[in-house]
Structure 1
Amino acid sequence: MPEPSESKSANDQNHHIETIWRIVIDAISLIILLVVSIISNTTAIPFTRGFFCSDATIKYPYKDNTIPAYAAVILSVGVPIIWIWTTELCKLCYFKRYPKTRFEIRLLFWRHKSYQIAPIVRNLYILTVIFGYGYLATWVLLEVTKNFIGELRPHFLAVCQPSIDCTSITLLNQYNSYLQYGTNYTCLNSDTTSVREARRSFFSGHTAPLFFGFGYLIMYIHVSWSWRHLGILGHLFQVGLLILACYVGYTRISDFHHHWHDVFFGAVVGSLIAFVTFKFILNWRRQDPQFLPTITTSTDSCATSSNDPLENMNTYPVHLQEYDGQSTEVGLFHSSNVAVRSRQKILQPISLLKLVFDGLSLAIVLLTWLLLKYLVKPVRRAFLCSDLSLYHAEPQKKVFPTWLLVLCAIGIPLVIILLSECVRWYYLFRQKSAKVAYELQIRSKIYRIPEWVGNLYIIIGVFIFANCVTAFLTNIGKVTVGRLRPHFIPSCFHKYSYHDFCNNSNEWIINYECLGESSDIIKQKDGAYDIRQSFPSGHASIAFCGLIFLALYIHKVWNYRNFGQFPYVMETFCFALAAYIGITRITDNRHHPTDVLAGAILGTFVAIIAFRYMVDAFKRSVLSDLGSESMTD
């Protein structure tokens, strides 16, 4: 590689060189992916799959898109790019994270010519280009999968208009026979583009790119939005992005453009590609060359202790404070590594603004959940009168009523967490172990908060926030999908027999109104609107969120050597109780099995994310390792 024309100064400790060939190769790679995705989307012929007349999953009526394709593209590309660029520019303008004299980047051109560029230009280039690479890779995989599998959409028969009329078939063997395209039927619809798209259901083209874009942005927010005054506000934005992505996926099901597994696999594929792109291709833990420049000054007190360049970008300098005649590093974000039973006292500053943002975030999530719960009415989903899954008997009594769910999934975990923290405080107080005091500054006054109070605030606050988010995501699915409960027809029409209600087995009921359905603004708790809110199960999602969170807490905290296998027994009990609550929703005829499964996955996912990434201060507490044998005098 040719040497730059300018000499390297003594202050260029973070000097880095880029070549013009990198930009050229990146551009060629992106163009190749773009061309392949366009060809696959416009000219490739999908696999012509046949169908059975008895297949009720492709007999849904055609509906227009709630979220058009162009809107999904704008959301999946525009929101992440604007958000990332705005954040980086704010860092440059307001936080001054890019020192000019300590970090230089030079771009080599042809014939040994080089130009110095600002670090923010390279950072924005890397963030944008790698995002574009992952986004186009998602589209290529999406288009290739759609064309090779050729799964029929739920409204395939309505769009295709096959030459054979399934309603005229009377013989059972013909009704269950496989009809091959070109041999047994052809599509009479002259709109070949619509017929082609009706054969490309798996997996969802709205969901996969959107989950990639928002997943990439969520991970960027996690490593970049670590200003200590924000509290859980950054997590609130992450939850908002996840809710918007889930809403778009739900609309694809309610619009009959995709099966539920198309949306599910689209979300999984998009999230997985986003994780691989951000974690391994962007490689934000790489130090040479550094992805983002570290803050370096002439004094040693401003050096950060983390090896992660992104963490260094978002942490403030540590300060030295003396306690008991010893110097202790106190970071504004991360507590220093001090032995568990050291007699040093560590102060962790807390701002009043953080508490305000925490309360504001909880209030926003709670109010939006109440709005969805009691004001927003579910979509009126069409159904096939021969759908036997809707003829179950009306439930008489709940095995697990709502008050018992709240007690087991929220009340008991809160009590156990409170008692555990009290026991830990007593044990450590008796052992004269380290005490972490939080400093809350309100204007010019400083208040000392005990460590156990701070831990309770963190854990209980995150626990309540996680349950509110789970309830919000659950109700988004309920009102958007509008899936009918197993006892829908008996409860809605008071028809308990298939023969009494259904005259034509292929008849779609679209415009209907349940008996006793009111036009009140506030929804009734168990009225006509509730029987159209089956997916996902609210009991299962709340139960798994609360009890899995408790199991993770027990696994983290109850590691005292004298406990033996008791913590594992408690963790198993938490999972068993959550599973039992979900099973009762099926046996009560209140939910389909897929509703309970989706609720369990949702609650578990939120609990793991909340405990793994939001309880950082608790995990880094010097008192978290109860029963450690090490001791520093």
Structure 2
Amino acid sequence: MSPGNNEKYERFKELWIIYGDYGVLLLVALCYFILDVTMLPFQREFSLEDLTISHPYAKHERVPTMYLGIIALPLPGLILYGFGRFRKSPLLFWKSLMGLLYSTMLSGLIVTVIKNTVGRPRPDFIARCNPLSSSPHTGLVDLHVCTTSWESHILQDGLRSFPSGHTAFSFAGLGYLSLFIASQLRMFRKKTSSWAIIITVLPLMLATWIGISRNEDYRHHVEDIVVGGFLGMAIAYVCYRQIFPPVDDALANIPYAQLEIDDGNSDSRRVVEEMV
């Protein structure tokens, strides 16, 4: 490789280190939002005798989508910012925020693909369908018995039960926050105060309540919520570990980027300084 090409390659590597994560995050977010709007669910057959999908349709949810977005993203983001300000570390804030955004956007993308591919009816699906009085009440039927138009969002969304998007998204955001707080408070050191345990568990309790509310609103079956919770928490953990050491590590509260700086890597120092 010629000196000129080598210089260009090194410059490309530097730009990728600085902006590569942001580019991939933007791509994941765009895919999530586009598929969430355009992807249609699989039109699965169902039975009008199935009591598990015969619950009433509730127009008002306990946790609407808008409130979920605030609880699972801006709220954790503000707490991350508070820790960054308290520790006087912009790097801590920006790297932890990157992990939070990856966790929620990746969770949303995966759940959107799965729930539209599976096409499982929600517990209130028959109420959404509003079947014709002449519909057969034995055996399986399809959407032709519904008086609600297929073009209606209410009917389409009725086939997006598995897994629970609210639960997955809440655990992706609040679960990530719980891991972050546990690391910053050094919860897994030999002696941990009770208040640190409570603060760490609070986000998980809130995410669990959001999941339970989806069953109370007859939006999801129990197994939808359980799988959504495990999925969201697993994604949160993977994204968290890309930024921080394990929560039981002696340096659990320090992001990997800061550790590279502390190790005296001048190249890493310059790249990170450009990032923040």
Q: Structure 2: which amino acid aligns with 1:78?
A: P
1:40 is displaced (CA, Å) by 1.5
The AA in structure 2 aligned to 1:192 is: S
- Give the secondary structure class of the aligned counterpart of 2:143: coil
Match of 1:65 in 2: 61
Which has a greater percent of strand? 1
**Could you tell me which residue of structure 1 aligns to residue 106 of structure 2?**
137
Counterpart of 2:10 in structure 1 is none
CA shift for structure 1 position 65? 0.4
Written as runs of structure 1 = structure 2, the 5 A alignment for 1:319-330 is none
| Structure 2 Cα separation of the partners of residues 274 and 290 of structure 1 | 17
Equivalent runs, 1:125-164 vs 2, <5 Å? 125-164=94-133
1:179 match: secondary structure = coil
Match of 1:387 in 2: none
The residue aligned with 2:194 is 232
Does the 8 Å contact 2:84/2:90 carry over to 1? no
State how far apart, in whole Å, the 1-side matches of 2:53 and 2:256 are: 52
Is the CA contact 1:284–1:291 (under 8 Å) kept in the aligned structure 2? no
Please show how residues 42-57 of structure 1 align to structure 2 within 5 Å.
42-57=37-52
The answer on 1:26 being equivalent to 2:29 is no
**Cα RMSD, aligned residues only:** 2.7
Partner of 1:268: 230
Give CA-to-partner distance per residue, 1:413-471, whole Å, 9 cap, x none. xxxxxxxxxxxxxxxxxxxxxxxxxxxxxxxxxxxxxxxxxxxxxxxxxxxxxxxxxxx
- Counterpart amino acid of 2:85? L
Asked if structure 2 preserves the Cα contact closer than 8 Å seen for 1:151 and 1:199, the reply is: yes
1:36 equivalent to 2:2? Answer no
Q: 1:223 aligns with which of 183, 187, 201?
A: 183
Amino acid at match of 1:222: A
1:82 aligns with 2:82: no
Contact 1:159–1:189, Cα closer than 8 Å, also in 2: no
**Partner of residue 392, structure 1:** none
Q: SS at 2:78's partner residue?
A: helix
Q: Distance in 2 between matches of 1:127 and 1:158?
A: 43
Q: CA separation in 2, counterparts of 1:91 and 1:210?
A: 26
Q: Quick one: higher RCO (CA 8 Å, sep 6+), 1 or 2?
A: 2
| Alignment pair present for 1:91 and 2:87 | yes
| Pairs within 5 Å for 1:349-364 | none
- What is the DSSP-based 3-state SS (H/G/I as helix, E as strand, rest coil) of the residue aligned with 1:291? helix
Q: Distance in 2 between matches of 1:275 and 1:259?
A: 25
* Pair 1:247 & 2:209 matched: yes
1:208-252 deviation digits (Å, cap 9, x = unpaired): 010111111111111111399971211101222122111111111
SS of residue in 1 equivalent to 2:165? coil
Amino acid of the structure 1 residue aligned with 2:258: L
**Residues 243, 79 of structure 1: alpha-carbon distance in 2 compared, 3 angstrom cutoff:** same
**Which structure has the larger Rg over C-alpha atoms?**
1
Distance 1:23 1:161 in 2: 53
1:282 to 238, 243, 248: 243
Separation in structure 1 between the aligned mates of residue 212 and residue 103 of structure 2, nearest angstrom: 24
Deviation at 1:27, TM superposition (A): 2.3
The answer for unaligned runs of 5 or more in structure 2 is: 1-5, 8-12, 263-276
Gaps of 5+ in 1: 3-17, 93-119, 170-174, 297-633
**What's the CA shift for 1:24?**
2.7
Counterpart code for 1:273: I
The list of structure 1 runs, each at least 4 consecutive aligned residues, that deviate by more than 4 angstroms after superposition, is 227-230, 293-296
In structure 1, distance between residues paired with 2:99 and 2:173: 11
Select the residue among 210, 219, 238 that pairs with 1:257.
Answer: 219
Taking structure 1 as reference, are residues 234 and 165 closer, same or farther at Cα in structure 2, changes over 3 Å only? farther
Classify 1:284/1:161 alpha carbon distance in 2 versus 1 (closer, same or farther; 3 Å).
same
Q: Which residue of 1 aligns with 2:266?
A: none
Aligned partner of residue 292 in structure 1, secondary structure? helix
Corresponding residue SS for 2:258? coil
Relative to its length, the structure with more helix (as a share) is 2
Q: CA deviation at 1:150?
A: 0.6
Is contact 2:148–2:155 with CA below 8 Å preserved after alignment?
A: no
SS at match of 1:243: helix
Distance 1:294 1:226 in 2: 20
Task: Give the CA deviation at 1:159.
Answer: 1.2
TM-score by length of 1: 0.36
Aligned-pair distance for 1:36? 1.1
In 2: Cα distance, 1:191 partner to 1:163 partner? 17
Cα 1:135–1:49 change in 2 (3 A) is same
1:238-284 C-alpha deviation (Å, 9 max, x unpaired): 222122111111111011111111111110100111112222x2242
TM-score, length-scaled by structure 2: 0.79
Q: Is the 8 A contact 1:212 1:270 kept in 2?
A: yes
Contact kept, 8 Å, 2:57 with 2:127, in 1: the verdict is yes
Equivalence for 2:174: 214
